[in-house]
Each structure stands twice: as C-alpha cells, then as structure tokens.
C-alpha cells in the first residue's frame, strides 16, 4: 500500500501547481494604459496664423500642415515662447508637448493662411547662438549636410537635421550636455519664419513642463 499512498500524495501536491499554471494565461498579463487621445482642428495643407482659447484673451500660434497628414501647431505665450505644441507625423496620432495626461480636444478660434516656403538644409549652414534660461548662451554650427555640432560654450548642443514634409520646417534630433534642465535627448523640429527675425529659426522639442524652445541667432 505504501507505493499507492505515495502516488496519491504526489498527485495531490501537483494539483495546486497545475491550477496555478492554468490560471497564468496571457489574459492575466499587465495591460499598458491607453495613451490620451488628442484631437486638434484639421486644416488643409499650408501654413496658418491661428488663435485658440478664450475669445476675449486668445492664445496665438502657428499651424503647419503637410499633404501627407503631418501637422505641427505651436502656441506661444506673451513672451513669444512656446507654451504648448501639438505634432502629428503622417496620419498617426496627435502628440502634445508637454505630454498630455488626459484626453483633450483643441479647437481653433481663427486661422489665416500665411506664406511659408519649403525649407532646405544647405542655406542654414553657419554658426549660431541660442540664449538659455538663466542667461547662458549655447553656441553651435549647422553643416550643409544637416549635422549640428557644439561650439565653445558650456552647454553643448549637437544633433541632426533632415528634410520634413511640413512647410518651413525640418526634422530635428537634438542632444544636449551641460545645458541645465534641457533633456539629454529629444526629437523635434526646426521651424523658420520671417516673423522670427533677427532670429534665423527655432529649435522645438518635447520637454517635461513646457516645450524646449531655442531661438537661434546667426553668429
């Protein structure tokens, strides 16, 4: 009888293990939370001066739209710094800088077409300076091939520019070192506009509390 009792004991011991194995299906795997859904008024391809928010005290900005569905909306505060930016690549989902924490819809109060030419990299090749929060200056250069190389300043900016379907814009990959609160790595856009003079362009990228917004002046 001892072998039979041993087999029964072994079988009883295996039951909890088998039940646990049966219950450990993919259905119990943790599910990633859904990203907030962002909706922004759709405008046809082109560039626009826009406003949003309270009609009595609107927030002004620029809206850039490409034929492939890519979009960029930059909203400025009273100091002409980006307070928020909305971006979409192709027909993908809208993203917000800084990141949205809940579903949101942004409706435009007004939009007026503005002339903005397509942007190429080669004419931007030269040295630049940007002023950082706190008054420090970062120096960098842009090559005809789109490479961003750091200059002789404590804050080091480097990265790469590439052609963008958006009017007046280039794709931006930015890396920083010794630049205070600026992110070490960020993807964004370079935007050029005649309204920015004497600045040549802005470097815009995602930031934790507000968009990274660096106005570049020719050296």
Question: What is the pLDDT, as a whole number, of residue 214?
Answer: 97
Tokens of residue 3, six digits: 């072998």
Q: Is the pTM above the cut of 0.75?
A: yes
Name the region of 90 (left: φ>0; alpha: ψ -120 to 50; beta: rest): left
Cβ atoms of 174 and 190 closer than 8 Å = no
Question: What is the pLDDT, as a whole number, of residue 208?
Answer: 76
Question: What is the pLDDT, as a whole number, of residue 5?
Answer: 41
Question: What is the pLDDT, as a whole number, of residue 34?
Answer: 76
Question: What is the pLDDT, as a whole number, of residue 4?
Answer: 43
Question: What is the pLDDT, as a whole number, of residue 133?
Answer: 85
Q: How far apart are CA 202 and CA 192, in angstroms?
A: 6
Structural domain boundaries of the chain?
A: 38-113, 122-218
Q: How far apart are CA 39 and CA 128, in angstroms?
A: 35
pLDDT means over runs of 10, the chain (219 residues): 45 47 53 81 97 94 97 94 95 92 94 94 97 92 98 97 97 96 94 93 89 96
Residue that is written with structure tokens 């930031």 in the block? 207
Long-range contacts of 125-129 (CB under 8 A, 24+ apart): 126/218, 126/219, 127/151, 127/218, 127/219, 128/200, 128/216, 128/217, 128/218, 128/219, 129/216, 129/217, 129/219
| C-beta atoms surrounding 14 within 10 Å | 11
Q: How far apart are CA 7 and CA 80, in angstroms?
A: 80
Cis peptide before 59 (omega within 30 of 0): no
Residue 41 CB-half CA count within 13 A: 16
């Amino acid at each position: 009888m001892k072998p039979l009792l041993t087999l029964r004991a072994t079988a009883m011991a295996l039951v909890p293990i088998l039940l646990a194995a049966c219950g450990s299906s993919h259905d119990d795997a943790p599910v990633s939370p859904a990203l907030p859904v962002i909706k922004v008024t759709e405008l046809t391809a082109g560039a626009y001066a826009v406003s949003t928010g309270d009609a009595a005290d609107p927030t002004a900005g620029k809206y850039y739209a490409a034929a492939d569905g890519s979009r960029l909306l930059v909203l400025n505060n009273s100091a002409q710094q980006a307070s928020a930016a909305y971006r979409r690549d192709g027909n993908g989902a809208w993203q917000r800088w800084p990141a949205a924490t809940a579903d949101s819809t942004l409706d435009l109060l007004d939009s007026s077409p503005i002339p903005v030419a397509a942007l190429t990299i080669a004419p931007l090749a030269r040295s630049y300076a940007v002023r950082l929060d706190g008054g420090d200056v970062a120096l960098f250069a842009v090559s005809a091939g789109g490479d961003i190389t750091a200059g002789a300043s404590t804050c080091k900016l480097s990265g790469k520019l590439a052609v963008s379907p958006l009017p007046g814009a280039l794709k931006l990959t930015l890396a920083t070192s010794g630049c205070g609160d600026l992110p070490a790595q960020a993807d964004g856009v370079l935007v050029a506009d005649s309204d920015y003079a004497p600045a040549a362009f802005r470097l815009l990228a995602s930031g934790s509390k507000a968009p990274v917004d660096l106005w570049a002046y020719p050296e």
